[in-house]
Structure formats: structure tokens, C-alpha cells
């Protein structure tokens, strides 16, 4: 009898501890506590090691953080616990998918959005062997996603709802790890998949799927921001100036990456932030729309929230205006006007040659040394 | 004066003498013959160990013979060879007209440790021989007889860990006997018991022997036990293990442990094994 | 013949087997008395009535304290709606505690028979409540502490640490459906239980078979041991692509993953048990005329059973650990599937609700396994205790 109770208590405690403590590589993190007099200028920036995190690497390498007077320390983390690592203060700022964080913020996660980084990385794709050509053809079919509640799932749900399909009744959802979605399509286990970069590009390159909804190209999503700058709520409360400075640095880096994608790709690979082939990386980056914006990000938050509520993902009693206000903060000195006036260098060899095709991915994938950094994660 | 000592003594090396000692009926599976058997093996440290030097022995049907000697004299080895659990390095072993090649239900074996199967009750232990041979259905009723024979009926459903040493040994005996073996080999079966239990168990075994007429070969280090129970005593000495002498015990049964003849024979054996005190004992 | 029960057999050594004397009638009765005396020293003996003790009211007091704390300590965490389920539960516990406490002398342990089964069940259950009052009170106080640490004093942050009300509310809300047309906890429970039990039985059975073969036959050992060394440490996540390739049906993939996780410890311990059978048992069996089948199935296997049970327990733990991974290969419902989804939303009330159910499953199956072991290994009682 006491055995049972003990095992129950132990399991609960263990689960709580395991869930709460995320895994991050410690980089001798100094306490980012503010000095009693004012704010700190030390900031920890988190990253996973993805192609799309090019603005983070560029901001560090090109000295944008230093320009803003910040002493930066990079903290490398894992996909699975990224949300928790940010919320619990393992690092202070980063940029990541908006839809990944919106529902957790509603549940009480203490993080804030401060600016939009890039648009469009989510897609819904159907197997080439099937007969699905548009979203409407998805009625009654099986859709594979990296998880219920992940950004690809949310995007697919929103697109379906906009096309008159009830995602909770008219389709069947199956969960597979992101890296195995292609395999699921090939084996016929699912009719269509929803995913984020670079899985989407890779599947297209392999010829496994055709895209039927693209967040980067389809209205109204193409103006919507996929990824935004995120900051730990308590850090922001204690250090608003440092938060603003970091945001500016990242937004500037985004603009730089948009102007010089090839240079950004080289930088990411040569400095060993990601394990990939330079050309592959350049392609992926140039396909994303790195146009930083503040208003765009704010709109994205509200729009996502509205669609999520319509799809039943948010609690019925949630007030959307309040949620958007809680989630997005305007920082001093970080405005669209400032962004417009922002100038970045344009390097001669910084851009990708025109006419390069995504199908070149196929050769690049099989080239030695090309590793897919984002495969196998959600 | 002292009867039973000098008649029929034999040195353990001559084949002819061995054949001479066996009465008629040596082709009966109840009789055993050991012909020039030697056993040696390699010890863990690489040394060659001569457990048995060339030995020869004959046991007649229905005889009770004991193998006596200090440790290392090869008596247990010889017993295992007779049981068929080991093969000799040279020589042959015969059970009647058949060569001993492996274990058989006809040659039951009782160890010093009763080795009862701990997951079976007393009754199931006793009947395990029948189950092993697939004859349980026909012979099931005999199990009750054996339980009664060894006086353990009330404990038929007890498990081995609930039994005392003497009771466990009785179960082991019953288990070995359930197959009606022609020969029963006993390897120091009473060694782990206290002196009083041992004496009672010796009467027990004698009773069983008288009732069934099984040929019994008893390995013991207790000289008194050998004299009390056996028709013949085979004296063995170690390094290398060999048969030193075979003594006919001509005392009448039931034997008296404190009779002069008994004690005289005892003295003689002790002297033979150099334990009487006048010279150094056998174990070098 | 000795007049004592089975427990006092040493005395028998003083009396020889006098086979003609009749068996005593008393050993049977005495052994029953022995058994009764040894069983359940903590609980009251069957038929006896407990004294009226104030300690039976401990759960009531605990419930009252928890209710007071919940009602009058102000909330530290910001929540959208007032709590409903938790205070109601406490109120029910309080009232029930008073009633059971006042009637405590009525409830005694009754042996259940087909005629009085409902009455026996109720009486035994309530007797257990009275006897375990201190533990129940501690459990309720634990709930109170949980409430304090999370909802009231907000010592730990949302969304990771919701209060007990949120978790209980989730258990109720998500029972039939967890929102967005997806299966609710009831369906998740049956789905996971099916996966767990199928995987566990398949893996255990194959594990015992492989263990016996590898343990007994040198040829099997020669090929089998290297395979085990390779397969053993592979984590389930790495096997997902293989699972997808082998089976089109996601349920089969999931069962295969769990079965593999169970197979390894069961095989390891079975083969070690078989290899370590005492040679003397095998020798004895051979001199009793045993053939190979008897030696393997009637000597080696029973002798290895204690080891096999250790393997079964380890396999049980492995199966639970693998469940969450196994449910990531395209299943439609399940506790692991539910937990993954809830974590993506950072809705930890759901996570804890599912974990509570998993813990209940684990301890129930564990208890059942212990019962089976106690029955099968009844011959070990008094020899080894674990």
C-alpha cells in the first residue's frame, strides 16, 4: 500500500522536475542580473543551429550587438525544450515561430514578441502520387504533422478553416516526427503533410510532394510574419533598454541577411553555427522573406490568435485583444520608421545568382558534407 | 578372533581378483563392475590432477558397499563415474551386461545436499522421477507409498525450505527410489546431519535396503557408518586416488556399535589409514 | 509424530520416521493457525472489531484544513475562472470522513463469497479507509501543499505548475473529448493500455523464449549474445524509421517498439537465470531419467523464474518509458500522444492529468505483477524476501 503511494508521488515529482528543467549547453553563464543601480548590458541569445537563424549568427559576427552596446553570449539549446528554456531564463532573447508561442502565452508563459524577422516558412504539401491538387481536396483525407499544436498543424488548420473544411471533423490527423514525414508520404501512410522549413523544401526537391498551401506565397499569409523576436518576460521587465537594443540588432541583421543571403550562408557554415553545405544554406535563406517589421509582427500575432480561436485552439473565454497586448510589446526606438531608415551594406558576392532552382537541392542533399540541421525535430 | 578382517581382502589393482570376488549373477543390471578406471583432469591452475588411478571393483547384486577414505581420495569421483555423470579417462564401467555411458534412472543418486527442487512440494519432488520418464499416470499411486515409507505423509504439500535437514534427506531418498532403481548410489548422504539424526537415518537406510534389496554403494568419510551399514568396505587413499584395500565385514546384523568386533575392525581400519596415531596420517 | 505445524519442523529431527504410527490430525489445523497468525499483522484479524479511535478522523481534519486554506488564502497565480472541482472534492471528502469515522466500528474485514460479495466489498473498502486513516490524511495534506505552492503562494510559475483544481478540471473536461474533435482521455487511456499490454506480453513472451534458447544451447548463445550487445542500447527514437518501414499500421509499429524495449531486459535476465541453474539440479534430474525437454522446461526454467521476474519488472518500466515515443508514429490517440500535444500548447494541467493516469496504470500493473510473482514463486517465501 505505501509502495503504491510512494511510487505515485515519486513519479509526479520526477515528471515535474524533468519537464521543468530544459536541456541547454552551459556556456559559463554569468548571472544576467541587473546591477542595483541600472540595467545590464549583458545578454544571452539562444539558438538551436538552424538555417533560418542566420540573423542571429550574422548579428554576432557583423558586430550588430556590439554596435548597440551589448555584451552577447550565445547559448545553444534543443528544439524540444526551447520554449521552456526561454521562459525559465536559460537565455534572454532569440527569434522563433510566432505560432509556437502563442498558445503557451495564453496559458501563462512569460515571454514577449518584440519585432518580426521573416515571413513564410510553413507549407501544406500533398503527395505527388495522389490526386490532391488544392486544399479543398483534403476533405476526408489523412494529414501528417510533426505534432498537434505545432506551427505546421496550426497553419494547416487555419488554411482548411478558410477553405470550408472543418479540421476537427473532415480530416484525420497523424503525428510523425518532422524528419519522417517524407517517409510517411512515400509509404502511403498519409495523403498530405504540413511542415516548416527546411523539411518542405527538401521534400519538394526530392519530388515527393507538391505544395498546395504556402505561407510565403499565399494571401493573406504572405504578409504575415512567421518568425519574430522573443524575449524572456522577466528580463524585459528588468531591462527594457537592453531588450530594445537586442531587438534592433536582430532586426538589422535580418535586413542584412535579406540583402546578402549567400554571405549569410557562408558565415553560418564557416563559423560552424550550423552543419550544412554552403550552397544549400544559401538557397534556403534566399527562399525566406527576411523583411523585418514591427507592425507586421503585431498584425501576425493578432491574426494568428483570431484564426486559432476560430479553430478551437484557444480557450473560449480568452479575450483576443488582451492576449495580443500581453504577447506583443512596443519597445522605445524600435519602430517601422527606424527600420525604413536603416541601411545595411550590400556585399558584391553576397547574393544568390538568379535562376538557381530549388531542384538543385536534390544534388546538394546527396553531396558529401551536406547535413540537414533541422531534420528530426519538430 | 577378530572375524571379518582378513577374509577376502583384496588390493585394488588386479583384475582377476576383482572377478574372483563377484558371485554369480554379475550380468544382472544390479551388479556393478569397475574395470581399470582412471580419471584425471586439468586443474584451474594448469596442474594435472589424478583424481583416480587405475581402479577395479566389483559390486554384487543386492550388496551394500561403502567407499571410505579421506578427502581427495577419489571416492566421489568414482561415484559420479558410476552414475554416468562423468566419463572416465580410461577404463570401463559396467552395470550388469551394459556399459555405463550416461546417467540412467536405473542408477539413482543421492547427494550430501538433498538437492530437492525448491519449486516443487515434497510430493511433487518425489514424483519428479516418474514425470521425467513420462510414467506418472500409471505409477501415481506409488508416490503415496513412498511418502508413507519415509514417514512424511503430513508434509506432502510442504516446500523444501520448510523441512529440516533429516526430512529433506528422506525426501531425496524417496525421490531416488521412486524409479525402482537397481542400484542406489549415495554420496555422503548423511554428512550434513547431526550425530543423532545421522544414526537414526542410518537405520532408516538399512530398513529401506532390507525391504527392497537394491544394490547400494555408499560413499562416506565416517568409518563407524561404514562398518555399521556395509557388507564390504573399500578403503581409498588420495594423491593419487586409488583403492587401497577392500574389507569384508562379517559382523552379524543388526550390528552393535560398541561390540568388541566392531571396535576391533574400527581400530584396524584406522591403522590402515594411518590415523591410529603411531605414524603420520595418509594425507601428505 | 510431531504435533506442531509446518513452521516448527526442526523438532521432527528428534523423532525418526516411525512409519507405522498414524499421521497426527493436528498439523493441518495448527498450520492454519500458524498461517493466520503470520498473515497481515498490521490489519485487524478477520472477524475482530477495532476500537473506536480518534485517528480515524484524521482525513476529515486534513480535508478541513485544505478547504480552509483554499477558501481563505488569496490566489497568487492569475487564473481566468474561479475554482470549482477541487473545493467540491474536499467537501465530499470531509463529509465522507465524518460519516466513516462515526461508523468506524461497523466496518470489518469480511471474507468475500459469491453471496455476500457487494457487502463484503463495501465493508472491506471502508475498513481499509479506517485502518489507513493516517496515510489518507497525509495524501490530502499533500494536495493542500500542492495548492499552496502553486495557486495560492505562486512559488512556482505558470504555465508549468498549475494548481490541483486545474488538473482535476482537465481530467473532467477532457474525458470525452480533448477539444478540436480529438479523442478524449477515456479513449487515450484504452488506447495506451492496449498498446502497453500488447507490447509487454509480446516482448515478454519472446524474451523468455529467446532467453531460454540462448541460455541453453551453445550455438544459440554464440549468435545470440552479439546480437543482444548490439541491439540493447539502441534508444527507441532511433528505431522510428525502421518501425515505419516494417509496418504500415501505426498500432503495429507502436506495439513493435514497446515489445522491443521489453524484450531486451527479459531476454538478458532469462538467459542469465538459465545459465546459472545449479548443475546439481540438472545432475539429479538426469539420474532420474530426464530427457532434454524435462531438463529445459521442468528444471532450468523453474530455477530461472526468480531472475525472469526481475526481467519482467524491468521490462515493465521500459515499456512505460517507450510508450511516449511509440505513440509518436502516427497513432490517433493515447496518453503519450496527448502529453506531446499538451506540451506543444504548454498546457501542463493536461500533462499532469495524463501523468497521474499513467502513474495509476503503472502502480496497478506493478501490484498485479507482484501478486502473480508471489503466487508463482510461493516456494521462495521465507527464503528470500524482496
Question: Is C291 in the B-facing interface, judged by CB distances under 8 Å?
Answer: yes
Cis bond upstream, residue A198 (ω within 30) = yes
Sequence ranges of the domains in chain B: 4-101+226-272
Full pLDDT tens readout for chain A, 378 residues: 466 776 676 677 666 555 544 456 644 334 444 444 467 889 999 998 888 888 999 999 989 999 889 999 999 888 778 888 999 889 999 999 888 898 899 888 999 999 998 887 889 999 988 888 888 889 999 999 988 878 898 889 888 888 888 888 889 999 888 888 988 898 888 999 999 876 887 788 788 889 899 888 887 777 788 889 999 999 999 999 999 999 999 999 998 888 888 888 888 888 888 776 777 677 777 777 888 888 888 888 888 888 888 777 888 888 888 898 889 998 888 888 888 887 778 887 767 665 555 545 444 554 443 343 333 333
- Categorise residue C205: left if φ over 0, alpha if ψ from -120 to 50, beta otherwise: alpha
Q: Most C CBs within 10 Å: which of B154, B170, B175, as the mutation test of the C interface?
A: B154
Q: Which of C1, C285, C385 is nearest to B155 (CA)?
A: C1
pLDDT tens by residue, C103-141: 888 788 888 788 888 888 888 888 888 888 899 999 999
Cβ-based contacts of B159 with chain C (< 8 Å)? 378-379, 381
Asked if A touches B (at least 3 Cβ pairs < 8 angstroms), the answer reads no
Decide if C345 and A175 are in contact by the 8 Å CB cutoff.
Answer: no
Residue from A17, A83, A149 whose CB has the most chain C CBs within 10 Å, to mutate: A149
Using CA of residue C90, residue C93, residue C95, residue C101, what is the dihedral sign? negative
pLDDT score of C41 more than 60 = no
C contact residues 270-289, partner B, Cβ 8 Å cutoff:
278, 280-281, 283-289
> By C-alpha distance, which of B100, B89, B81 is closest to B31?
B100
- pLDDT digits over B214-255, tens only? 999 999 888 899 999 999 999 988 878 888 889 999 888 888
What is the Cα–Cα distance from C326 to A175, expressed in whole angstroms? 11
**Where does chain B have alpha helices with state H?**
15-21, 75-83, 122-126, 128-133, 136-149, 165-177, 195-212, 223-229, 260-272
Interface of A with C in 254-293 (CB under 8 A): none
Q: Indicate yes or no: CB of A15 within 8 angstroms of CB of C355.
A: yes
Chain segment C227-271, per-residue pLDDT in tens: 988 888 788 888 888 888 888 888 999 999 999 999 999 999 999
Distances in Å between the Cα of A194 and the Cα atoms of A165, A283, B147, C329, C341 are: 15, 21, 75, 15, 16
Kindly tell me if the per-residue pLDDT of C372 is higher than 80.
yes
Residue C295 is classified by DSSP as: I
Q: Please tell me the predicted confidence (pLDDT) of residue C307.
A: 94
* Residues in A touching C244 (Cβ below 8 Å): 176, 180, 183-184, 187, 189
ipTM rounded to 2 decimals: 0.82
A174/C250 Cβ within 8 A: yes
Measured CA to CA, the distance from residue A161 to residue B275 in angstroms comes to: 104
Residue C288 DSSP label = T
Q: How far is CA A324 from CA A319, C26, C232, in A?
A: 9, 84, 49
Residue B209: which residues within 8 A CB-CB, separation 6 or more? Answer: B64, B216
pTM: 0.76
Interchain pair A9, C329: CB under 8 A: no
Q: How far apart are CA C336 and CA C355, in angstroms?
A: 9
CB contact under 8 A, B176 and C287: yes
CB–CB contact A107 C78 (8 Å): no
Alpha-carbon gap: C214 to the closest alpha carbon of chain A (Å):
34
**CATH number, span B4-101+226-272:** 3.40.50
User: Least CA distance to B126: which residue of chain C?
Assistant: C288
Amino acid at each position: 500500500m505505501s509502495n503504491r503511494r510512494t511510487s505515485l508521488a515519486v513519479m509526479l515529482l520526477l515528471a515535474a522536475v524533468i519537464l521543468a528543467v530544459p536541456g541547454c549547453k552551459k556556456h559559463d553563464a554569468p548571472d544576467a542580473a541587473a546591477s542595483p543601480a541600472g540595467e545590464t548590458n549583458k545578454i544571452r541569445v539562444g539558438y538551436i543551429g538552424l538555417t533560418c537563424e542566420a540573423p542571429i549568427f550574422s548579428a554576432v559576427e557583423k558586430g550588430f550587438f556590439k554596435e548597440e552596446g551589448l555584451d552577447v553570449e550565445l547559448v545553444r539549446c534543443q528544439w524540444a525544450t526551447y520554449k521552456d528554456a526561454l521562459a525559465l531564463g536559460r537565455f534572454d532573447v532569440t527569434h522563433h515561430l510566432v505560432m509556437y508561442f502563442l498558445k503557451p502565452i495564453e496559458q501563462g508563459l512569460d515571454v514577449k514578441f518584440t519585432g518580426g524577422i521573416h515571413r513564410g516558412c510553413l507549407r501544406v504539401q500533398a503527395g505527388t502520387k495522389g490526386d490532391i491538387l488544392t486544399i479543398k481536396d483534403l476533405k476526408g483525407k489523412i494529414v501528417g504533422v510533426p505534432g498537434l499544436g505545432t506551427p505546421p498543424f496550426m497553419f494547416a488548420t487555419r488554411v482548411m478553416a478558410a477553405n470550408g473544411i472543418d479540421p476537427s471533423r473532415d480530416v484525420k490527423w497523424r503525428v510523425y516526427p518532422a524528419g519522417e514525414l517524407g517517409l510517411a508520404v512515400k509509404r502511403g501512410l498519409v495523403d498530405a503533410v504540413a511542415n516548416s522549413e527546411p523539411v518542405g523544401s527538401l521534400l519538394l526537391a526530392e519530388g515527393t510532394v507538391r505544395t498546395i498551401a504556402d505561407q510565403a506565397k499565399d494571401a493573406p499569409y504572405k504578409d504575415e510574419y512567421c518568425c519574430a523576436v522573443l524575449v524572456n518576460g522577466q528580463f524585459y521587465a528588468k531591462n527594457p533598454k537592453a531588450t530594445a537594443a537586442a531587438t534592433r540588432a536582430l532586426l538589422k541583421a535580418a535586413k542584412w541577411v535579406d540583402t546578402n543571403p549567400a554571405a549569410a550562408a557562408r558565415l553560418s557554415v564557416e563559423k560552424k553555427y550550423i552543419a550544412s553545405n554552403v550552397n544549400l544554406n544559401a538557397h534556403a535563406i534566399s527562399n525566406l522573406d527576411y523583411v523585418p517589421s514591427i507592425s507586421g509582427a503585431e498584425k501576425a500575432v493578432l491574426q494568428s490568435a483570431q484564426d486559432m480561436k476560430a479553430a478551437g485552439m484557444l480557450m473560449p473565454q480568452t479575450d483576443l485583444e488582451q492576449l495580443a497586448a500581453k504577447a506583443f510589446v512596443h519597445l522605445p526606438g524600435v519602430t517601422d520608421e527606424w527600420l525604413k531608415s536603416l541601411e545595411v551594406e550590400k556585399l558584391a558576392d553576397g547574393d544568390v545568382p538568379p535562376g538557381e532552382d530549388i531542384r538543385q537541392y536534390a544534388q546538394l542533399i546527396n553531396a558529401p558534407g551536406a547535413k540537414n540541421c533541422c531534420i528530426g525535430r519538430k | 578372533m577378530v572375524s571379518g578382517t582378513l577374509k577376502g581382502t583384496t588390493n585394488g589393482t588386479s583384475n582377476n581378483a576383482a572377478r574372483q570376488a563377484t558371485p554369480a549373477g554379475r550380468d544382472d543390471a544390479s551388479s556393478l563392475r569397475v574395470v581399470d578406471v582412471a580419471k584425471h583432469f586439468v586443474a584451474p591452475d594448469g596442474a594435472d590432477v589424478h583424481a583416480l588411478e587405475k581402479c577395479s571393483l566389483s559390486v554384487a547384486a543386492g550388496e551394500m558397499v561403502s567407499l571410505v577414505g579421506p578427502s581427495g581420495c577419489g571416492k566421489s569421483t568414482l561415484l559420479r563415474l558410476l552414475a554416468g555423470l562423468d566419463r572416465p579417462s580410461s577404463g570401463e564401467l559396467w552395470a550388469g551386461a551394459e556399459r555405463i555411458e550416461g546417467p540412467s534412472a536405473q542408477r539413482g543418486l543421492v547427494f550430501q545436499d538433498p538437492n530437492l527442487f525448491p519449486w516443487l512440494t515434497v510430493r511433487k519432488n518425489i514424483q519428479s522421477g516418474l514425470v521425467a520418464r513420462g510414467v506418472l499416470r500409471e505409477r501415481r499411486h506409488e508416490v503415496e507409498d513412498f511418502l508413507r515409507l519415509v514417514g512424511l505423509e503430513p508434509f506432502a504439500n510442504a516446500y523444501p525450505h520448510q523441512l529440516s535437514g533429516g526430512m529433506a534427506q528422506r525426501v531425496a531418498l524417496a525421490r531416488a527410489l521412486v524409479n525402482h532403481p537397481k542400484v542406489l548410489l549415495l554420496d555422503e548422504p548423511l554428512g550434513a546431519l547431526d550425530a543423532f539424526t545421522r544414526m537414526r537415518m542410518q537405520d532408516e537406510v538399512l530398513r529401506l535396503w532390507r525391504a527392497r534389496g537394491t544394490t547400494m554403494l555408499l560413499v562416506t568419510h565416517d568409518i563407524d557408518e561404514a562398518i555399521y551399514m556395509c557388507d564390504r568396505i573399500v578403503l581409498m587413499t588420495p594423491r593419487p586416488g586409488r583403492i587401497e584395500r577392500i574389507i569384508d565385514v562379517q559382523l552379524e546384523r543388526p550390528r552393535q556399535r560398541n561390540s568388541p568386533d566392531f571396535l576391533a575392525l574400527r581400530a584396524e581400519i584406522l591403522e590402515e589409514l594411518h590415523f591410529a596415531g603411531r605414524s603420520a596420517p595418509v594425507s601428505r | 509424530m510431531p504435533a506442531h505445524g509446518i513452521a516448527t519442523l526442526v523438532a521432527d529431527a528428534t523423532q525418526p520416521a516411525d512409519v507405522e504410527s498414524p499421521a497426527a490430525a493436528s498439523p493441518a489445523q495448527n498450520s492454519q493457525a500458524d498461517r493466520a497468525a503470520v498473515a497481515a499483522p498490521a490489519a485487524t484479524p478477520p472477524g475482530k472489531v477495532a476500537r473506536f479511535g480518534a485517528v480515524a478522523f484524521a482525513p476529515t481534519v486534513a480535508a478541513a484544513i485544505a478547504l480552509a486554506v483554499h477558501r481563505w488564502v488569496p490566489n497568487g497565480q492569475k487564473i481566468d475562472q474561479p475554482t470549482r472541482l477541487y473545493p467540491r472534492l474536499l467537501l465530499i471528502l470531509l463529509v465522507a470522513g465524518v460519516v466513516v469515522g462515526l461508523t468506524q466500528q461497523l466496518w470489518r474485514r469480511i471474507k468475500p463469497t459469491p453471496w455476500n460479495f457487494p457487502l463484503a466489498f463495501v465493508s472491506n473498502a471502508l475498513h481499509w479507509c479506517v485502518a489507513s486513516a493516517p496515510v489518507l490524511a497525509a495524501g490530502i495534506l499533500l494536495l493542500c501543499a500542492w495548492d499552496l505552492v502553486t495557486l495560492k503562494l505562486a512559488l512556482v510559475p505558470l504555465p508549468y505548475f498549475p494548481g490541483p483544481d486545474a488538473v482535476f478540471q482537465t481530467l473532467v473536461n477532457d474525458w470525452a473529448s480533448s477539444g478540436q474533435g480529438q479523442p478524449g482521455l477515456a479513449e487515450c487511456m484504452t488506447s495506451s493500455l492496449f498498446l502497453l499490454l500488447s507490447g509487454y506480453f509480446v516482448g515478454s513472451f519472446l524474451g523468455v523464449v529467446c532467453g531460454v534458447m540462448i541460455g541453453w544451447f551453445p550455438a544459440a548463445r554464440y549468435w545470440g549474445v552479439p546480437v543482444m550487445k548490439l541491439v540493447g542500447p539502441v534508444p527507441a527514437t532511433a528505431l522510428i524509421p525502421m518501425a515505419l518501414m516494417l509496418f504500415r499500421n501505426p498500432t503495429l509499429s507502436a506495439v513493435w517498439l514497446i515489445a522491443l524495449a521489453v524484450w531486451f531486459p527479459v531476454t538478458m535476465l532469462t538467459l542469465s537465470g538459465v545459465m546459472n541453474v545449479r548443475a546439481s539440479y540438472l545432475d539429479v534430474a538426469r539420474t532420474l531419467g530426464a530427457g532434454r525437454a524435462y531438463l529445459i522446461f521442468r528444471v532450468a526454467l523453474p530455477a530461472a523464474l526468480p531472475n525472469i521476474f526481475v526481467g519482467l519488472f524491468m521490462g515493465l518500466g521500459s515499456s512505460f518509458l517507450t510508450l511516449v515515443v511509440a505513440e509518436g508514429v502516427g497513432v490517433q490517440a493515447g496518453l503519450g500522444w496527448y502529453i506531446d500535444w499538451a506540451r506543444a500548447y504548454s498546457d501542463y494541467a493536461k500533462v499532469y492529468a495524463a501523468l497521474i493516469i499513467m502513474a495509476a496504470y503503472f502502480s496497478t500493473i506493478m501490484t498485479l505483477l507482484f501478486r502473480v510473482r508471489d503466487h508463482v514463486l510461493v516456494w521462495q517465501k521465507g527464503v528470500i524476501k524482496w
